[in-house]
Structure formats: C-alpha cells, structure tokens
Amino acid sequence: MPKLITKIKEYRAKTNMKQEELAQLIGVRRETIGHLENGKYNPSLKMAMDIAKVFMVPVEELFQFID
C-alpha cells in the first residue's frame, strides 16, 4: 500500500505558523495536524484541499504517495 508523504510541517515552518493556527484555519484539532505531519492520519480530500488553500499551493505540492 502506498505511503502518504506530506510537506505540511515544511510549509508551516516557512510561514512561521503553529499547528494550532493551521488547525483553527481549517476547523480541526491541533492533534489532527500533528497526526497528519507524522503520517498517522490520511486527510479527506476536502481537508487536503483546505490545507493547500491556506498555503496557496496545489494539493499535489503538499501531499504525495510513494510506494
């Protein structure tokens, strides 16, 4: 099964954004962002698109599947 790799942490660092801030912007708990960043949770399509919108990048820039 392919593994989902995210660049959320990298983009948060570029913008000095805390997990809590991103969580509030997309309407989830801070723990959800932590799980996403650590590969313990796969986002819904809507959540992935909401996060990409926050950073103004395509979804494919933030999320990639690897074998």
Per-residue pLDDT of the chain (67 residues), as tens digits, is 778 899 999 999 999 999 999 999 999 999 999 999 998 989 999 999 999 999 999 999 999 988 8
Query: The pTM is what?
Result: 0.91
Q: Please give the tally of structural domains in the chain.
A: 1
Q: Do residues 43 and 36 make contact, with C-beta atoms less than 8 angstroms apart?
A: yes
Half-sphere exposure at residue 67, Cβ-oriented, CA atoms within 13 angstroms: 0
CA atoms within 13 A on the CB side of 20: 0
pLDDT of residue 50: 98
**Residue 8 and residue 62 in contact, taking contact as beta carbons nearer than 8 Å:** yes
In whole angstroms, give the CA distance from residue 40 to residue 37. 8
Cα dihedral 18, 21, 4, 60 sign: negative
* Domain range enclosing 48: 3-66
